């Protein structure tokens, strides 16, 4: 069974600090996808990034960057120069589908990390 662990329940930082959110996953599949979602205080879930298991290149998008390491089964998310608007719960998720039976994209979510960015 697949599993996603976000060991950091809550992180507090001061604005402009860099912060890394950890994500460790378990799966027996060779083909899988990893995702990060953001849930701001308003409650909606916002997609941030998708990464497939065959692409270990790190990705940067503005102040956001992601570090995918298959050797340690980790997919960590770093926010550089954090801002108050980054305050949210961040979820890491793992998707493995049963291609043979068309099982669909079943996401397994971690329990989330609450990030608080203060002035």
Which residues contact another protein (rule: CB under 8 A)?
4, 9, 33, 35, 37, 43-45, 47, 50, 52, 91, 95, 97, 99, 102-112
Nearest to 59 by CA among 69, 68, 70, 71: 68
Helix, coil or strand: residue 9: coil
Q: To the nearest whole angstrom, how small is the minimum distance from the Cβ of residue 15 to another protein?
A: 27
Three-point CA angle 51, 16, 90, nearest 5°: 35
Q: To the nearest whole angstrom, how small is the minimum distance from the Cβ of residue 26 to another protein?
A: 15
Choice between 13 and 97, CB closer to another protein: 97
H runs (alpha helix) in the chain: none
Q: To the nearest whole angstrom, how small is the minimum distance from the Cβ of residue 45 to another protein?
A: 4
Choice between 19 and 23, CB closer to another protein: 23
Choice between 83 and 111, CB closer to another protein: 111
Bridging pattern class, strands 64-69 and 74-79:
antiparallel
């Amino acid at each position: 069974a697949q599993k996603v662990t976000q060991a950091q329940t809550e992180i507090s930082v001061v604005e402009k600090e860099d912060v890394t959110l950890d994500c460790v996953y378990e799966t027996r599949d060779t083909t899988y996808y990893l995702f990060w979602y953001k849930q701001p205080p308003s409650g909606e879930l916002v997609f941030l990034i998708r990464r497939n298991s065959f692409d270990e290149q790190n990705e940067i998008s503005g102040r956001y960057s992601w570090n995918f390491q298959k050797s340690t089964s980790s997919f960590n998310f770093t926010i550089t120069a954090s801002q108050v608007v980054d305050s949210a719960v961040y979820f890491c998720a793992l998707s493995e589908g049963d291609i043979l039976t068309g099982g669909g994209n079943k996401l397994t979510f971690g329990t989330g990390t609450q990030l608080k960015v203060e002035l």
